[in-house]
Structure 1
Amino acid sequence: MAYQKKVYGQAEAAVNEIKKHILHHDLQSGDPLPTENQLCEYLGMSRTVVREAIRTLTALRIVEVKHGRGTFVGDLSMQPMVESLVFRGLLNPGEDAQSLRDIVEVRASLDISVGEEVIAAWRGRHSPELHRSVEKMQELADAGQTFPQEDRFFHSQLLAPLPNQLFRRLTEAFWDVNTLIAPSLGIPTPADIAITARAHGQILEAAEKGDLDAYRAAVHEHYQPLLNNPGSLDIRLK
């Protein structure tokens, strides 16, 4: 037991050092890392410790091991966070509604917080792709159908021009969690679907016109179908 604790403690230190190595050398996704022997020598740690550290970093998608080729910087996917949050939301029956409201609160707050950046990026621009996406959402809404693919595409592309791409990746991750938990709460009403489709068009129009107040109002409209559910959180969108 004492030996295992020692290994885990050293492995945690190795994880931090490997992260520092990636940052210090400005390595990007797909770039090679030192070999296992080189890491052992560089860190001054045993092969067992280094392998444990690599396993941890692999689980976090920070590194990727390609057998026969070596170890590389991973795609830095948000998937581990998504899976963890979804599992948390579905773990205890009866609490999935609260978990979804928590996710909606984060999504809404994030959309509002990047409002100025979105307006600055989109003012005076026109996106045929996003307009087609909105039209498709409205067509599906008129038919009483949901539009998850178009919805995700819209939110991702809306943030694509922003200099800070972490906003986009976080938005995609929380959207994925939202979408994976939501089915456990039942099918949305046609009225809710229509409101959501219309709000996407209003968000895009406001962004292209450079109207921050209209953008914020449209974001508020977008989340009303979820926020108006009984017991939902009161999110102040300012």
Structure 2
Amino acid sequence: MNQVEVKRIVAELLPYIRYHRLDAGDRLPSERDLCTKFNASRNSVREALTALEIMRVVERRPNSGIYLQALGKDTSVDAMVMFSDAGVPLLEGEVSDFLETRRILEIESFRLACQRHTDADIERLVDVIETCERNLEAGITLAEQDAVFHLALVEAAHNQVYLRLVNSFYLTSRARRKVFFKTMEQSFRSHQDHVKLLAALRKRDFDAGEKILQQHLASVGKFWSERLQNDPNEKII
């Protein structure tokens, strides 16, 4: 099976669904029509639909057709990453939902990290901080290293489920981080917060770290809120 072709079909089908404003329960084109539309083999189309079905994005009904499922509680977390990889813009309200969920997960992870972190966790975070400092001196933003730091912070909680969930959110925010960290000024501000967070973690001071995290993540929410107010039609990926 040509996995490259399967990924291409998925990447083109998801924007097609959003562009045509298909709702839950709407019927998608037949497999034959999808083969024609995406210039792909029948097997590749079926494989792509299977992937979408596993993630509860579509449902294939025998002798009836392919139907779009509601993107709600039953939709796989992996589907969020898949939509992001396909360049599908977030729906209204999804940005704030993403940020709210990220805040809840990271703050609780920090609480656990204060209780459970090891010397190896601290060493890993120090390495990330030092890498960020070298990058900043070279004029490189934190668009990439920001996620590395936060994931290392979550990893210090020693809860693999939390780590996987938070990682999914960071995978979906790759394009948004490039926008957020477009200026060096933002990178320096975030780095200062990261240094403070590491200091609080070392002391196992959850209260201090929580305040820093709350302010840190609130600045992200403020950035996107102001951006959307300035341009309500902007499509955020």
TM-score, scaled relative to structure 1: 0.54
**2:100 alignment partner AA:** E
Deviation for aligned residue 1:120:
0.4
Of 167, 185, 194, the residue aligned with 1:200 is 194
Q: What is the rounded CA distance, in whole Å, between the counterparts of 1:82 and 1:111 in structure 2?
A: 18
The superposition leaves residues 74-128 of structure 1 with CA deviations (integer Å, 9 ceiling, x where unpaired) of xxx9543312366686166xx5xx5434322221221112232111012777622
1:217 matched residue in structure 2: 211
Deviation for aligned residue 1:170:
0.7
- Does the C-alpha gap of structure 1 residues 216 and 206 become closer, same or farther in structure 2, counting only changes over 3 Å? same
Map of 1:52-63 to 2, 5 A cutoff? 55=50, 59-60=54-55
Mark the runs of 5 or more structure 1 residues left unpaired by the alignment. Answer: 1-50, 61-76, 233-238
Three-state SS of the structure 2 residue aligned to 1:231 is helix
2:175 matched residue in structure 1: 180
Of 133, 140, 162, the residue aligned with 1:145 is 140
1:160 matched residue in structure 2: 155
**2:157 alignment partner AA:** L
Deviation for aligned residue 1:58:
8.2
Name the larger-Rg structure.
Answer: 1
Deviation for aligned residue 1:186:
6.5
Map of 1:62-77 to 2, 5 A cutoff? none
Q: What is the rounded CA distance, in whole Å, between the counterparts of 2:156 and 2:181 in structure 1?
A: 33
Q: Give the percent of matched residue pairs that are identical in Structure 1 and Structure 2.
A: 22
| 2:193 and 2:212 in contact (8 A); partners too | yes
1:106 matched residue in structure 2: 101
Mark the runs of 5 or more structure 2 residues left unpaired by the alignment. Answer: 1-45, 56-75, 227-237
1:81 matched residue in structure 2: 80
The superposition leaves residues 145-199 of structure 1 with CA deviations (integer Å, 9 ceiling, x where unpaired) of 223443333222223243431100111110111223344x565332211111111
Map of 1:19-38 to 2, 5 A cutoff? none
Deviation for aligned residue 1:216:
0.7
1:90 matched residue in structure 2: 89
1:169 paired with 2:168, answer no
**1:132 alignment partner AA:** D
| 1:86 and 1:180 in contact (8 A); partners too | no
Q: What is the rounded CA distance, in whole Å, between the counterparts of 1:164 and 1:55 in structure 2?
A: 30
Q: What is the rounded CA distance, in whole Å, between the counterparts of 2:214 and 2:206 in structure 1?
A: 12
| 2:110 and 2:153 in contact (8 A); partners too | no
| 1:107 and 1:175 in contact (8 A); partners too | no
CA RMSD in angstroms comes to 3.7
- Does the C-alpha gap of structure 1 residues 195 and 101 become closer, same or farther in structure 2, counting only changes over 3 Å? farther
